[in-house]
Chains A and B, each alone.
Chain A
């Protein structure tokens, strides 16, 4: 039972990061191959605080979120201001993520590539569930706000959005910073769940897995990516034999989705729309 609980916890932690990337990729329309590095920044920032400075866990989590957001500004400001082609942006942030990882591997305070062992395991399932619920609430409110509407407008048509008076640079940057904060939270929870972190845990492969969940779930949906991310984490654990083949399947899923269902699992729908629709349809039927 303990084993199942830890899988669910891990899936919950991962879902928070996917939620963040979903805001940036799904709703603002910019692709990132570097968000795992932001998760890593959150993990290291919060772990270093509790490990060396005995900072209380909630404050360390907040600090991790802040650190990830600040770091995202470093890449976001120059690249978003320059209005790179969307694929160039994805590559720039890929390079940034890999560079961050190399830096983490060579700092004294992160204990280099050997990783940071013995972090206090503060993260529990209720905490993760609480953070996830809070994250979903914040994310859906953000998307319903004026800023969220601007993000969606930018995704649909940057030129038209700009004509309507939306500042492209500021909207995209805000979306990046918000998504980075979610990733930082996820990283902080991860570090205090596994109690051991290492720079190789936050590589391009991990970024691709996050992106795969968002794309598979549907760009423009929050519940789709959450479901996809849960499936991606839970399935390989359920089929223990298939551990080796998990990443093979990721790759295949990405290609197949692009080829046959580019709108993803849920498309632009939310889980709640299905419920709402069936409630509306019942009286008429």
Chain B
């Protein structure tokens, strides 16, 4: 029972981490909470669903297609809704409200055009369960796959940020945007790349969420959890996002197993508020106090 709870918690935590990375990346560069990320994840899931039902792609192609699609959507989103504000150096709250507007817009656009129906991915993605520890606990192969991909992707992103020219430029932008652009970095391109990265992570997370649960317009709501995970780890930090996702996944599963599944969301939100009050920088965060 205990082991099973841990395993279940880790497998959902992996997906939380994948989504939390998107929040953290954007926050680290533009220091605002991009609430439109949830909608991008939802659209990624719909793209994946379209690829598998209309074009009958396999899992690998579905995931990569959704990643590419969500990445592009994230770039367009930034160009249309944030770039003007960014150039005007508007307060980060304006960006956040604009992001909220995008989320409401995209979610309801899907409602109005595709409809509020719940869609399921074809069953063949879900087959296979692996028994561990002499059958005391089991894990779906898909969960294992999703967990593996999450960890690998975050590791890959870490290597990208530390070992490539673009990655170094992004990290420079994180510490000082103006200085970075004075050094000859094209900021518009840099920010597009950051949003693209956030988008492709969101696309993968969307497909995994869709397979694990269902695809529907408000599924982006789950990403509030991912946001909490990002806050636990410290917004703007990659290892923080990973750790925060796993911690939240495990804690939540424990609460729903041993306390009550109803209290799970109350617990998560309570945790969020408590963390914001007592440790707003999270486990790994840098100081994010508002400047005068």
Q: Choose one: B102, B227, B262, B266; the contact of A91 (CB below 8 Å).
A: B227
**Chain B, interface size: which category?**
35 or more
Q: Would you call B97 and A106 a contact (CB within 8 A)?
A: no
In the complex, A92 Cα to B266 Cα: how many Å? 13
Q: Mark A193-213, 1 if CB is under 8 A from B, else 0.
A: 000000000000100100110
In the complex, residue of chain A having the shortest beta-carbon distance to the beta carbon of B95:
A258
Given contacts A205-B104, A258-B97, contact A78 B273 (CB under 8 A): yes
A239 within 8 A of B: no
**Beyond known contacts A244-B112, A251-B103, A259-B85: 5 more, CB 8 A cutoff:** A90-B93, A99-B269, A208-B104, A250-B108, A259-B84
Q: Which of B67-75, B130-138, B284-292 contacts A (4 or more CB under 8 A)?
A: B284-292
Residue in contact with A252 in the complex, picked from B101, B289, B290, CB distance below 8 Å = B101
Given A215-B97, A258-B97, A262-B94, also A79-B292 (CB < 8 A): no
Chain A interface, DSSP helix/strand/loop, else mixed: helix
Asked whether, in the complex, the Cβ of A91 is within 8 Å of the Cβ of B101, the reply is no
In the assembled complex, 6 residue pairs joining A and B whose CB atoms fall closer than 8 Å, in A order, are: A84-B280, A85-B280, A86-B290, A102-B266, A248-B109, A258-B101
1/0 per residue A82-107: CB within 8 Å of B? 10111110111011101100110110
- By the criterion CB–CB under 8 Å, are A244 and B280 in contact? no
Q: Chain A, interface size: which category?
A: 35 or more
Contact of B112 with A98 in the complex, beta carbons under 8 Å = no
B111 within 8 A of A: yes
Of chain B, the residue at the smallest CB distance from A78 is B277
CB closest chain-A residue, reference B80: A255
Establish whether residues B81 and A247, one from each chain, have CB atoms under 8 Å apart when the complex forms.
no
Measured CB to CB, the nearest residue on chain A to B96 is A87
B81 touches A79 (CB 8 A): no
Distance in angstroms between the alpha carbons of A75 and B269 in the assembled complex = 12
Smallest CB separation, A109 vs chain B (Å)? 16
